[in-house]
Each structure stands twice: as structure tokens, then as C-alpha cells.
Amino acid sequence: MAKTHVTMKVNGAEVEGLVEPRTLLVHFIRENLQMTGTHIGCETTHCGACTVDIDGMSVKSCTMFAVQAQGSDITTIEGMANADGTLSALQEGFRMMHGLQCGFCTPGMIMRAHRLLKENPSPSEQEIRMGISGNICRCTGYQNIVKAIQYAAAKINGVEFKEAAE
Amino acid sequence: MNDLTPTREQRSAALEGMGCKRKRVEDIRFTQGKGNYVDDVKLPGMLHGDFVRSPHPHARVKKIDDSEALKVPGVLAVITAETLKTVNLAWMPTLAGDVQMVLADGKVLFQNQEVAFVVATDRYAADDGINKVIVEYEPLPPLVDPFKSMDADAPVLREDLVGKTTGAHGPRKHHNHIFEWTVGDKELTDAAFKKAEVTIKEMISYHRTHPSPLETCQCVCSFDKIKGELTIYGTFQAPHVIRTVVSLIAKLPEQKIHVIAPDIGGGFGNKVGAYPGYICAAVASIVTGKPVKWVEDRIENLTATSFARDYHMTTEIAATKDGKVTGLRVHVLADHGAFDACADPSKWPAGFFNIVTGSYDFPTAHLAVDGVYTNKAPGGVAYRCSFRVTEAAYCIERAMDILAQKLNMDPAELRLKNFIKPEQFPYHSALGWEYDSGDYHTAMRKMMETTGYAALRKEQAEKRAAFKRGETREIMGLGVSFFTEIVGAGPSKNCDILGIAMFDSCEIRMHPTGAGIARMGTKSQGQGHETTWAQIIATEIGIPADNIMVEEGNTDTAPYGLGTYGSRSTPVAGAAIAMAARKIKAKAQMIAAYKLEVHEDDLEFDIDGFRVKGLPEKFMSMKDICWAAYNSVPPGMEPGLEAVSYYDPPNMTYPFGAYLCVMDIDVDTGVYKVRRFYALDDCGTRINPMIIEGQVHGGLTEAFAIAMGQEIRYDEVGNVVTGSFMDFFMPTAVETPHWETDFTVTPSPHHPIGAKGVGESPNVGGVPAFSNAVNDAFSFLGATHIQMPHDYWRNWKAAKDLGAVA
């Protein structure tokens, strides 16, 4: 099948590649760019394991063609740590609050939470639950994911977070 | 000593040993997208394989034409049963003693069964190839209803078994019969029922569902023709078992098979068994000489790799008028689908379902299980439970509620009246188990006090009265569940897989600088083994957990183990860790005695080293002992500090718990709201409370899903109608209730650290709590038993059938 040349910015770096028109963005990221932090859980847009941030929106990259991302600015989990290599507030929150177990949903969950906190820097528990409802986790029961996001929100807002992981 | 000398508390805390809410070491890589899952494995020249699957639930395969497929750019091979026959792999053994087609051999027996394996340069080309394989089928009548499977005129499903009157577990009564398994004293039980003042009888179904971890089943197989070695990266909960199975069926020397289970994205029982994808990828690698990856998609996962449950349990209890149980009789019809691919220990065709007497002192019981074939996907696996234990717990906990209703007794009161008493442990159950320990009354009373159970019952009575007066359309249910699990399979006297005893193992090597590595026979799929195993070692030998690296999943380096499922890791491997650590400690004591110039009996272990009794200043830290082990051991002693333990547990462990679900249901819409869910778990000694609570949250969420909607459903002609996350209920953060957790601690008397295992308890105890809540809500309207799953529609239907909705 004929291939198309695409260029986009991923985690701040200009990247390019040759893809078939049908190549899914998630496959371009995982196979061509060899960034395997973005996961595939369902391929039907239900689970959110493939969530990345595109031009300021959370996008499930299993339901977008790579060619549709031409010229866009993408952030994946690999671009989430602080510049000095330390864990960002969200990554730290997930660890401190035990917001992950198998880790498979975690990159998508963190990417979604990242955008959620940009949209709403101090979300309530209900707003967090609704805000991550496009992302499925099979391990945690979400309770500690909610806390992880609250932890990160507090840290970003410079407020002390007190609640311990249950 | 001065102010800078750490206190004993500080020294102990620095270890981050048992009881510490240690943050997980795994999370550093997982939160940065640096996990290494199977689909992340890329080998040079790697090909991709994918399946042509059957659209029919039951059909003869007349012809497979791959000529057009082979013309598709990128397609290199199409493997069929005929190809596999050349290497004698068209069929494979199942863990349950049955055989299973790897690829359709003459006929297909369930929808989405694997028919051909297309191998191509990438996954897109493989998919193109699949679309060009033309398969000619002759449809046959499908058998969907397990209750019709043994009808005289039922279609013959397994033609390979025609004429075989005996299976792996004894006589077969019918061409679609797999086994009959009976336990207990039938005569005594029948007599108890004859004498009974009160009896109940109900057919309680536990519907078919699926573990559905977020990462599907997958592998990469790479055969090196020169060395004759096969390397398999796979989503394996039991990598050593896979190595042995591959060696036995592919006739490859076991030392030339390297099985690597990297990070696994959840298992929940789905990744215990061996699936056609593994065999096909291995054969494809042998055929093409290149590594071959197989990655299941979600539809394939839900419809083809092992389902769970599908138990139909006709349950009877005999009791006295005042509520003392006198007998239990259960008959199970077990739907295994097209092949019996249960992942149970070999001698247990219905797993440990004979734990069905639960937490109650039944003087006698009898159990019979009939396994049957239907035109459905093969299985079934233990979805976050020890083998068939969740089915057993659901059966007895639902039945106890039905008995309470008949006796007009409170379900909690009935349970308290019938619990095995603390002084009865070790307790021998009527169906053959020896319960190691328990204190059920304390747990139950703590649950009732903490939740304000009496007040909730009072509120319920008021709401029922208001409902009857027409003042509200909402009904309230209290779901009580008290479960006893049986986990930690298991003792070699009664547990094996393919003849291998179900021990588990740990090898610890201490390095000169006071660091070390522990290698395990288990394999974490999210349980946090890298964190908790190091905590056990930290407490046992006094080296900080941060200094211990835990490695699992590589069969070349890890000692042989039976893997992680059935909540067996802590009861079995956790014990192996403690035993290996104690061997390290014993040698360390000899080295310390030599260095401190005392007899080893004069030493006592003190947090992180050995101290001379009565001379507190004469102390040698474990860190220093590690160094000494490599340069100045006593004369005659070998240098080094390492140990291995293979632990054969003397008994299972029996975690238990008391759960309460408070639910409100709107009868006009069937919409429910879980107002409150309280879970008290007793898993014995608690290694990492943070991880335990995470496990409980996760298990409860899975229980919630199963009880309230998660079902693999077939229509009447054998189409699976719940093949994606659109139809298969997968709760999000919005639907999932808030969980309240609590605990009591009753250590296991036979386990080296008293731990019992916890990962599966919440699934086992949770499902009956939800279902009992729904049934309790409807009971005052005349319901006795409403089958799961209790989705909105079924709740509305129940209300309508009971005349509560016009």
C-alpha cells in the first residue's frame, strides 16, 4: 500500500515517518517512533490505555490515523517527567497514593489526568471520576487513582495534601 | 552511643520490612511508560501472526483455501491444522486432562474458534491475509443450553471422543459429558434432609464471565535453528509450567526452551492456561525461521481465551426450625464449552468447589458436579479466585440468605448461629478440608458494629413500609456476605499440575556490599511482588528492602515455581522467601559468631544484625556479615551467602472476611446505587497494608462488575453477543462505588510468617454481597432468588415480575 509522509511534534521533538493511510496513530507512536509507553487495550476506543495529548486535547490514539495527526503537537507518557528526570506531580501522585498496580492503564490514565488538571486545576472527586471515565483500570478500583490526581492537583497548586492511601 | 545513634525504631523503620506501607518500586518505571510488556518486545526480522476465526458456533470445515491470501503483499505463510499435524501439534493437552484443537481439525466447536494462522511482515498485512482466506463450512446444529447438553438427541460435539466412556476424571455418562465429581457422604446427607424440620432448594446460577485484563494474551516466539532453542516472551502467570508444557508437547529439550514473562498488564486467571496463539506463533517461528509475534485483540480475548464461571448450582440446605444447619446438598452443572480447559490442579476437575460448606459447621454435606460440553469458548479459569472458590462462596452465601428468609431470621444472625467456632480450629469440614484458623464471630460482629447494621435494618423496615404506602419508589437492600477462602495451592499430597507438585520457590543471593537479589518462581501481574517480597526479606534478615532486587519471570534464572494465581503467591512463595531468608540468617549467625569470637548460641538477632546476649555493644550488622561472607568465613565453611528454598506447604490457608453492601434500587428504572460497601478482610499477617488495600479495592471492583452486569452471553444459536467493552460491562470510575476497608488479623498457624493471601478474597466475598443486596431489596416483594447479573434491565424486570411495576 502506498505510503504517506507525515511530520509532527512528539514530546517537543520534530518527528517524521512514512505510513499507510490506514496506520493508526498508536501504531505509529509504538512501532515507528518506538515509544512503547502508550498502550493498546481494546482498539475500540473504550479503555483509554492509548490516550495521548494532542494539541491540548486528550485523544485515544487507537482511533485516529497517523495521517490525521499531520502537523500536530503530541505529548505521550514519555514526555511527562520533569525536565530534570524526576517524576512529575502526577507521576509522583500515582506512586504515593498507590494509584496503579499492573501499570498497563497508567500511561493513558496519567495523560488523561494531565489534561483534566489543565482544564480544571482543582477538581472535586466527582469531577475527577467523570473526567477519567473514558479510561478503564482493571486493578485499582479507581479510588486511589482519584487520590493520586488530588495529590497532584494539590502539589501543582502549592497546597499540602494530607490524605494517606487507604 | 550518642544522639546520632539510631533508635531501635529508626533502625527497624529503615528496613521498610513487613507491616510497612512501602511505596512500590515498580511504579518508577510504570509511571514513566517504561514498563516492558510483551507487545513492547521487538526482535530483528520479527513477523506477526493473526487468526482466521470461525463465524459459526458448530460447523464442519469442508475446505480452507489460502491461495489468494498467499498473494497478499507481506503474507508469508498460512498455517492450518494440516500444517500442525506434520509436527503433531494440531491438538494440545489442557490442564484439565482434556485435549483441545489448536486449529480447527475437521470442524469448529465455538464461534471465533481459531481456524488458520496467517503469518505476515506486519499486523496490517496479516489482517489483509485473513480476509483472503476462504473457508467453506457446513453448519451443524449448535448446542448452547448446558441443561440440554445431555439430552438423548443432543448433537455430538466432540467427535474425537466418540466411543470413549471414560475421561480424565472417570466415567462419562453421555457423549457431551466430561466428568462427574462427587464428594461427601450421600447417605448421611440424604438422612439429614429426611429428618429436617426446614429445607430450602434453589437453582443458583453463576453466569459466564471473563477476567479480561487490560493487556490481552500475547507472545513472541523465536526459534534459533542453529542452536535448536526456542525463546518465548509471553503473558504467562506461570512461566515454568509453560516451559514444561512446551517441552512435553513440542518434544523440545526443556533446557533449550527459554520462557520469559516480562511485565504483565493484569492476569486475573486469564493468563494461566496455554492458548492456540502460543503454539501457532512457535510453529510459525520454526517454519519461517524468524521471530513471530501474536497479540490478541480485545474481541478475541473476550470470545476465545478462557472464560470463567458458568456454574449452575442446585443447592439445598437442611436446618432446624431455630436455624441450625444440619445438611448441605449441591449439584452443579458445569458448562466448560467446547473443551475442558479449566486451569485447576490436575486432580480437581471442579477446583476446590468442595469449600462450598463455607464458614458454617455443617455436620454433613454432599456435592456432585457434572461437567458438560457446549458450543462455547473453552475454559474455565479462576477469575481472581482460587479454583472455583468464588462459585462455592456465592452458592453458600446466597443459600444462607434464602434459608434466613424462609426462617424469617436476620441473615447475619443466622450466620452467627452457624459459624465454625474459634475453638473448633483446625476444623475438618464435611467435604474434606482442614481449615487452619479463623475467628468468624469477631469479624462478623466488627462488621455489624462498624456499619451500624441494626440501624440500617431499622431504616430498611421504615423504607419498606413507606414503599407499601406508596410514598417512595425506592427499595433498599442489605447484602451480607461472610466468606471463607481456600488458597495457597498447594500441598503436594493433593495438588499438582501435570504431575508437578504445587510448591513454590525463592533463591536469595546476598552480595558483598549488603545488597542482594531474590529470584522467584512466581510472577507478578500487578500485585507488587518486587516491593513486598523484598519486605519479607528485610524483616527476616535485617537488610533494607531497598537493597533487595526481586526478579521474576525468566525461567533460565528463576528457580522452578508454579506461578501466580489462586492467591498462592504469599501462602506458598511468601513462605519460600521466609525459609530461604532463614537459611541466610543461620549462616550469617555462624559468620557473626566467628567474627565476634563467641559461640553462635550466645548471639541474638536484633533488627539488622546479631548481638552478643548481655553485651549490647558487641554487635555485627548484617551488612558487615555480608562482606565477611566473601572474605573471612569460619574455617571449613564455604564462602558466599545465598540460599534457595522450595516450599511445599503443609496445608492450604483460609482467609476470611465479612462484607456488607447497602444498595438502593429504583423499581421503575431498575437503576441501583451502591450507597455503601464495607469489606473486612482477615488475611493473617499483613505484609504491606497499602498493597493489601489496593488489592481489596481492585477485587471488589471486579466483584461489582460481575454481580451487576459483566457477562459473556450467547444467543440461542450460539453467537457471542458480548464481544467488546461496549457490551461487556467494564465499570469506569463513575459507576464504581467507594470502598471502605477494615481488617482483623488471625495469622495462619502453619505459615512461616502467618500470612494467608488476599488478592482474591474481595472477588470471592464481594459477588455474594452485591447479589444478596439486590435479593434482599426485593425479598419483601416476594422474591426468593433473582439470578445475576443484576443490571438495570434485570432489576426492572424483577420488579415487574413481582408486580411492583405496572
CA A107/CA A111 separation, integer angstroms: 6
Is B352:B486 a contact under the CB 8 Å cutoff? yes
Q: Decide if B37 and A36 are in contact by the 8 Å CB cutoff.
A: yes
Per-residue pLDDT, B4: 78
Of B177, B561, B151, B206, the residue nearest B380 (C-alpha) = B206
Taking contacts as CB-CB distances below 8 angstroms, the residues of chain B near A129 are 732-734
Model confidence band, residue B328 (pLDDT cutoffs 50, 70, 90):
very high
Domain check: are B619 and B712 in the same one? no
β-sheet with B672-682: strand ranges across: B474-484, B656-666, B672-682, B740-743
Q: Which of residues 266-295 of B touch A (CB under 8 A)?
A: 266, 268
Q: Which helix (H) or strand (E) holds B361?
A: none
How many other C-beta atoms can be found within 10 angstroms of the C-beta atom of residue B597?
9
Q: Does the beta carbon of A32 lie under 8 angstroms from any beta carbon of chain B?
A: no
Largest CA distance in chain B: 90
Q: Decide if B39 and A30 are in contact by the 8 Å CB cutoff.
A: yes
How many other C-beta atoms can be found within 10 angstroms of the C-beta atom of residue B594?
17
Best of A10, A104, A116 to disrupt the B interface (most B CBs within 10 Å) is A104
CA A53/CA B78 separation, integer angstroms: 39
3-state SS class at B492:
coil
| Residue B343 reports pLDDT greater than 90 | no
CA A155/CA A92 separation, integer angstroms: 10
3-state SS class at A149:
helix
Q: Decide if B32 and A43 are in contact by the 8 Å CB cutoff.
A: no
Domain check: are B659 and B634 in the same one? no
Please report, for the domain that includes residue B786, its CATH number: 3.30.365.10
Q: Decide if A104 and B730 are in contact by the 8 Å CB cutoff.
A: no
How many other C-beta atoms can be found within 10 angstroms of the C-beta atom of residue A17?
17
Q: What integer is the mean pLDDT of B643-652?
A: 97
Domain check: are B423 and B483 in the same one? yes
CA B191/CA B203 separation, integer angstroms: 21
Last residue of some domain: B248, B279, B303?
B303
Q: What is the ipTM metric for this complex? A: 0.98
C-alpha torsion sign, points B172, B175, B177, B178? positive
Q: Which helix (H) or strand (E) holds A129?
A: helix A125-131
What DSSP designation does B574 have? H
Domain check: are B236 and B383 in the same one? no
Domain check: are B343 and B410 in the same one? yes
Per-residue pLDDT, B589: 98
CA B370/CA B384 separation, integer angstroms: 23
**CB neighbour list of residue B342: distance below 8 Å, 6 or more residues apart:** B94, B95, B96, B336, B349, B351, B379, B380, B381, B387
Taking contacts as CB-CB distances below 8 angstroms, the residues of chain B near A104 are 35, 37, 213-215, 265-266, 526
3-state SS class at B540:
helix
Q: What integer is the mean pLDDT of B406-422?
A: 98
CA B744/CA B445 separation, integer angstroms: 11
Q: Partners of B114 in the beta sheet?
A: B53
Domain check: are B525 and B632 in the same one? yes
Q: Could you tell me the three cell numbers for B207?
A: 453466569
Strands B292-295 and B47-53: parallel
CA A137/CA A160 separation, integer angstroms: 27
| Residue B1 reports pLDDT greater than 80 | no
| Residue B498 reports pLDDT greater than 90 | no
- Domain-embedded: residue B464: yes
Domain check: are B297 and B357 in the same one? no
| pLDDT tens digits, one per residue of B565-593 | 988 999 999 999 999 999 999 999 999 99
Per-residue pLDDT, A166: 47
- Domain-embedded: residue B417: yes
Largest CA distance in chain A: 56
| pLDDT tens digits, one per residue of B239-284 | 999 999 999 988 999 999 999 999 999 999 999 989 999 999 999 9
Q: Decide if B31 and A110 are in contact by the 8 Å CB cutoff.
A: yes
Tally the C-alpha atoms within 13 A of residue B494's C-alpha that lie toward its C-beta.
Answer: 13
Cite the active site residues of B.
237, 384-385, 760
Domain count of the fold of chain B: 3
Of B297, B713, B695, the residue nearest B526 (C-alpha) = B695
Residue A61: alpha-carbon gap to chain centroid: 10
Domain check: are B24 and B90 in the same one? no
Q: What integer is the mean pLDDT of B741-762?
A: 96
Q: Which of residues 5-24 of A touch B (CB under 8 A)?
A: 20, 22-23
Distance set, CA B455 to CA A81, A106, B459, B768 (Å): 50, 40, 6, 22
Taking contacts as CB-CB distances below 8 angstroms, the residues of chain B near A165 are 21, 690, 693-694
Percent over 90 (pLDDT), chain B: 97
| pLDDT tens digits, one per residue of B457-485 | 999 999 999 999 999 999 999 999 999 99
Please tell me which of the candidates B216, B528, B694 has its beta carbon nearest to residue A144: B694
Per-residue pLDDT, A162: 80
- Domain-embedded: residue B729: yes
Summarize chain A as % helix, strand, coil (round to 5).
35, 15, 45
Q: Partners of B325 in the beta sheet?
A: B319
Residue B306: alpha-carbon gap to chain centroid: 12
- Domain-embedded: residue B72: yes
Last residue of some domain: B594, B613, B647?
B647
Look at the block and give the residue holding cell 502526577. Answer: A90
Taking contacts as CB-CB distances below 8 angstroms, the residues of chain A near B123 are 27
Distance set, CA B494 to CA B346, B352, B755 (Å): 9, 11, 21
Amino acid at B803: G
**CB neighbour list of residue B800: distance below 8 Å, 6 or more residues apart:** none
Domain check: are B665 and B562 in the same one? no
How many other C-beta atoms can be found within 10 angstroms of the C-beta atom of residue B471?
10
Is B273:B387 a contact under the CB 8 Å cutoff? no
Please report, for the domain that includes residue B76, its CATH number: 3.90.1170.50
- Domain-embedded: residue B203: no
Q: Which of residues 36-55 of A touch B (CB under 8 A)?
A: 36-44, 46-47, 49
Taking contacts as CB-CB distances below 8 angstroms, the residues of chain A near B30 are 100, 103, 106
CA B309/CA B392 separation, integer angstroms: 10
3-state SS class at B451:
helix
What DSSP designation does B376 have? S
Is B553:B262 a contact under the CB 8 Å cutoff? yes
- Domain-embedded: residue B199: no
Taking contacts as CB-CB distances below 8 angstroms, the residues of chain B near A35 are 33
Task: Reply yes or no: is the peptide bond before residue B737 cis, omega within 30 of 0.
Answer: no
Q: Decide if A138 and B214 are in contact by the 8 Å CB cutoff.
A: yes
CA B319/CA B198 separation, integer angstroms: 5
CA B594/CA B633 separation, integer angstroms: 8
Look at the block and give the residue holding cell 485483540. Answer: B297
Q: Decide if B32 and A41 are in contact by the 8 Å CB cutoff.
A: no
Q: Could you tell me the three cell numbers for B531?
A: 516491593
Q: Which of residues 83-112 of A touch B (CB under 8 A)?
A: 87, 91-92, 94-96, 98, 100-107, 110
**pLDDT per position in chain A (166 positions), as tens?**
789 999 999 999 999 999 999 999 999 999 999 999 999 999 999 999 999 999 999 999 999 999 999 999 999 999 999 999 999 999 999 999 999 999 999 999 999 999 999 999 999 999 999 999 999 999 999 999 999 999 999 999 999 998 754 4
Domain check: are B636 and B670 in the same one? no
Per-residue pLDDT, A165: 47
Please tell me which of the candidates A46, A139, A145 has its beta carbon nearest to residue B266: A139
Q: Could you tell me the three cell numbers for B219?
A: 507472545
Is A139:A101 a contact under the CB 8 Å cutoff? yes
Q: Decide if A165 and B697 are in contact by the 8 Å CB cutoff.
A: no
| pLDDT tens digits, one per residue of B183-203 | 999 999 999 999 999 999 999
Q: Partners of B47 in the beta sheet?
A: B292
Task: Reply yes or no: is the peptide bond before residue B171 cis, omega within 30 of 0.
Answer: no
Task: Look up the pTM and report it.
Answer: 0.97
CA A141/CA B704 separation, integer angstroms: 10
How many other C-beta atoms can be found within 10 angstroms of the C-beta atom of residue B296?
21
- Domain-embedded: residue B715: yes
Strands B47-53 and B114-120: antiparallel
CA B482/CA B411 separation, integer angstroms: 10
Q: What integer is the mean pLDDT of B355-371?
A: 98
Please tell me which of the candidates A78, A104, A166 has its beta carbon nearest to residue B265: A104
Domain check: are B101 and B249 in the same one? yes
Taking contacts as CB-CB distances below 8 angstroms, the residues of chain B near A42 are 297-298, 724-725
Taking contacts as CB-CB distances below 8 angstroms, the residues of chain A near B298 are 41-44, 47
How close B212 comes to chain A (CA, Å)? 8
Integer-rounded Cα Rg, in Å, for chain B is 28
Strands B198-209 and B177-184: unpaired
| pLDDT tens digits, one per residue of B660-711 | 999 999 999 999 999 999 999 999 999 999 999 999 999 999 999 999 999 9
Taking contacts as CB-CB distances below 8 angstroms, the residues of chain B near A144 are 694, 697
How many other C-beta atoms can be found within 10 angstroms of the C-beta atom of residue B208?
25
Per-residue pLDDT, B2: 60
**CB neighbour list of residue A57: distance below 8 Å, 6 or more residues apart:** A115
Of B656, B752, B652, the residue nearest B422 (C-alpha) = B656
Determine phi and psi for B314, rounding to 5 degrees. Answer: -85, 115
CA A125/CA B329 separation, integer angstroms: 47
Please spell the DSSP secondary structure of A65-108, one letter per residue.
Answer: BGGGGTT-EEE-GGG-S-TTSSPPHHHHHHHHTT--SS-SSHHH
Domain check: are B602 and B704 in the same one? no
CA B665/CA B185 separation, integer angstroms: 42
Q: Decide if B526 and A42 are in contact by the 8 Å CB cutoff.
A: no
Q: Does the beta carbon of B44 lie under 8 angstroms from any beta carbon of chain A?
A: no
- Domain-embedded: residue B168: no
Please tell me which of the candidates B40, B73, B213 has its beta carbon nearest to residue A36: B40
Strand blocks (E) in B268-376: 292-295, 307-319, 325-335, 365-372
Look at the block and give the residue holding cell 494461566. Answer: B272
Q: Decide if A140 and B39 are in contact by the 8 Å CB cutoff.
A: no
3-state SS class at B35:
coil
Per-residue pLDDT, A164: 52
What's the domain range around B669? 308-489+652-801
Q: Does the beta carbon of B32 lie under 8 angstroms from any beta carbon of chain A?
A: yes
Last residue of some domain: B287, B303, B319?
B303
Residue B361 burial class via C-beta count within 10 angstroms: exposed 0-12, middle 13-18, buried 19 and up: middle
Is B312:B146 a contact under the CB 8 Å cutoff? yes
How close A71 comes to chain B (CA, Å)? 24
CA B703/CA B802 separation, integer angstroms: 26
CA B235/CA B254 separation, integer angstroms: 19
